[in-house]
A and B are shown apart, each in its own frame.
Chain A
Amino acid sequence: MLSLNKGEHKELVYINEPNLDLSISQAEDSVLRIVVIDYPHSTPSRHVLDSRHTIEIHHAGTNCQTEIYALAYVSNKDCVHTCTRVKHDIGGGTSKQIIKFVLDDQAQGSFQGELKILPDAQKVSAFQTNRNLLLSQQATMRTQPQLEIYADDVKASHGATTGQLDESALFYMQQRGIDPATGRKMLINAFMQDIIDQISDETLREQVRQQLE
């Protein structure tokens, strides 16, 4: 169990780290940003990856801020499961989660997002979004947002979408001379971009961007 002190700012970045198990408690006015990016590379010798991330956040003091950004680009028969549990015990805090999956081949992804706002946690803003891009007919995604809100003066929203690459955008690009393979890459990169942008270390950010492209 990790804890953030009063007013502490922390950024945690995990690139290709399997089976994260984080449990973090935040004291008042602390600011936490977590970026989790997975893009397992396949090698013939490697076993199928089955990674389960659990990220638990607990707002123990007032005015805490939490941002969770997660991206998994999974192919072959690999699986990535991400579970977030954000609990607002006390009022005034904000939490923001953007969780994205890009699934190719027979890859599987799942997202479970538990968000709990307890009765004393008034004036909380909690925002959760899960967007998934399926690149193959055999890829599967399960998504399960779970909101439990016991306070009455809060702003909370959640949304989940799962879709495929936009065929009309691909044709538009082709009509400008861009072949479908390049067009597809551009659309996938566009989908992933806002998560990669969250890594504040420029060197690492560019390295991740290049490896994903």
Chain B
Amino acid sequence: MSELIVIKDLHASIQDKEILRGVNLTIRPGEVHAIMGPNGAGKSTLSAVLTGNPLYTVTQGEVWLKGKNLLEMTPEQRAREGVFLSFQYPVEIPGVSMVNFMRTAVNEKRKYEGKEPLSATEFLRLMREKKKMLEMADKLNNRSVNEGFSGGEKKKNEIFQMAMLEPCLSILDETDSGLDIDALRIVADGVNKLKTKDNASIVITHYQRLLDYIVPDFVHVLANGRIVKTGGKELALELEEKGYAEFE
């Protein structure tokens, strides 16, 4: 298949304030795209719009995921179609255990794909396998979703959920923010292990640091709601050196 996602002239606003002003981006399976840019450029808005966050309104443009009109889908349909967002600020859900949460999510996706739900045993086995692959401790099962997790644990938990749901398009929104170097390495290793020739990632980051570990095929600069420059991984190094001044 040639294109996984095609974003055409995407405009979006929040409370009548236009943030995205014509984003164009095409991603093919197997590719890693980094989106960098100054604060307030619209990086997180892009991830919010692609996942259907109700706080944002798309005012113009199109998004096609595997030939389907993404913007017509509910947020949960987009997720079941394989769009995954690793949240910049993962939400705490007191009283809902990780097992219950993940099992519901995995089985909703299976139902959507016309598959039988996993039994409790099969599900726990899958959870163990994924944790082992990501070298994560097996302790969060009975804890409430993200409740009381440290910053690093929350981000690792996002990657764990990504492993469980096997998305075709992962969006990592500032996954490196607030991580120390060890946590960063674990998270990046996880992302690299989950990479296949059929899936793709969008890595949103302010800093070049993460891209030492997750090597992008393309680097885009998002400024004032548009992609103003695209290059290879060397562009990230250049940005690190020169900053974003020329784009502001």
Contact = CB atoms under 8 A, between A and B. Distances in A.
Contacts of A186: 96, 100-101, 104
A212 to B, nearest CB: 13
Nearest to B51: A175
B95 interface: yes
A169 B53 CA distance: 12
Nearest to B81: A177
Interface string A128-172: 000000000000000000000000000000000000001011011
B43 interface: no
B87 to A, nearest CB: 7
A47 interface: no
A46 interface: no
B230 to A, nearest CB: 27
A48 interface: no
Nearest to B82: A177
Interface stretch (A20-28, A51-59, A71-79, A187-195): A187-195
Given A171-B75, A186-B96, A178 B51 contact: no
Contacts of B102: 176
A174 interface: yes
Interface string B83-95: 0110100111111
Contacts of B53: 171
A17 interface: no
A49 interface: no
Contact of A177 (B80, B94, B96): B80
Residue among A166, A169, A175, A180 with most chain B CB within 10 A? A175
Interface in B52-96: 52-54, 74-76, 79-80, 84-85, 87, 90-96
A35 B121 CA distance: 34
B27 interface: no
B165 interface: yes
A186 B85 CA distance: 21
A13 interface: no
Interface in A189-213: 189-191, 193-194
A190 B91 contact: no
Contact of B112 (A168, A169, A177, A193): A177
9 contacts: A166-B91, A171-B75, A172-B90, A174-B79, A175-B79, A178-B104, A179-B108, A190-B93, A193-B95
Given A169-B91, A169-B92, A182-B108, 5 more contacts: A171-B53, A174-B76, A174-B79, A175-B84, A187-B93
Interface of A: 166, 168-169, 171-180, 182, 186-187, 189-191, 193-194
When A and B form their complex, which 4 residue pairs have the shortest distance between CB atoms, in order from nearest? A190-B95, A177-B79, A174-B75, A176-B105
